[in-house]
Amino acid sequence: MTSERDTAPPGPPPATTQERLVASARELLWERGYVGTSPKAILQHAGVGQGSMYHHFTGKSDLALTAIRRTAEEMRAAAEEIFSGPGTACDRVAAYLLREREVLRGCPIGRMTQDRDVVRDPVLRQPLDDMFGWLRRRLADVLAEGRASGELAAALDPEATAASIAAVVQGGYVLARAAEDTAPFDAAVRGLLALLAAQATTTTAPAPPHPAR
């Protein structure tokens, strides 16, 4: 579990100046956060002229908002592919938890919540609220399907369980980064899968995790 489809797969550089600016902002925001990413750094990373940002965007916050939204959209699409895919509810939750991640880089959206300037700005914070709210709802939907089908125990609370899953994943990123080791994240995922398996009422339960290293 050491790389994740949080961003688009490697490919040719963006064709337009605007797209190069957005791609560079996404990369630097993930690496340095909002406060640590200067307009100059974005321009240098994108390899564009000084006036390019203000030709396409009103300023750093406008570009950052576009970059954050783009990252959230791609994360959402990648997760939805799993949640809407084949398999039981447990299979799909397990697939989400076990998908490849760049654990030591952290979550690119979760990274933004560590910036006070982002959290205090309702406009910049909105994509974060939307992404995490959507994730909890979709996880709850999948878990509710499993409960309705009899796969999961009737006593299981889909909303509370979904919130726990989201919280443990984000906390796992933090613990892994603090330790400079993916082991805490992997242990958190194993624990979640064990708890989910304990709620299964059929023989269909999450497969034992085998994190890829």
Per-residue pLDDT tens digits for 31-54: 999 999 999 999 999 999 888 888
**Would you say residue 1 lies in a domain?**
no
Q: Please give the pLDDT value at position 187.
A: 97
Domain count, the chain: 1
CB 158 within 8 A of CB 140: yes
Task: Confirm whether 212 is domain-assigned.
Answer: no
CA 19 centroid distance within chain: 21
Is 84 within the bounds of a domain? yes
pTM of the model: 0.84
pLDDT score at 9: 44
For residue 15, what pLDDT is reported? 72
Distance between CA atoms of residues 76 and 69, nearest Å = 10
CATH number at residue 157: 1.10.357.10
**Which pLDDT value is given to residue 14?**
55
pLDDT tens sequence across 49-94 = 888 888 899 999 999 999 999 999 999 999 999 999 999 999 999 9
Q: Domain range for residue 171? A: 17-198
| Residue 139 lies inside a defined structural domain of this protein | yes
Please report whether residue 94 resides in a domain: yes
Asked if residue 171 belongs to a domain, the reply is yes
Q: Is 204 among the domain residues?
A: no
- Does residue 5 lie in a domain region? no
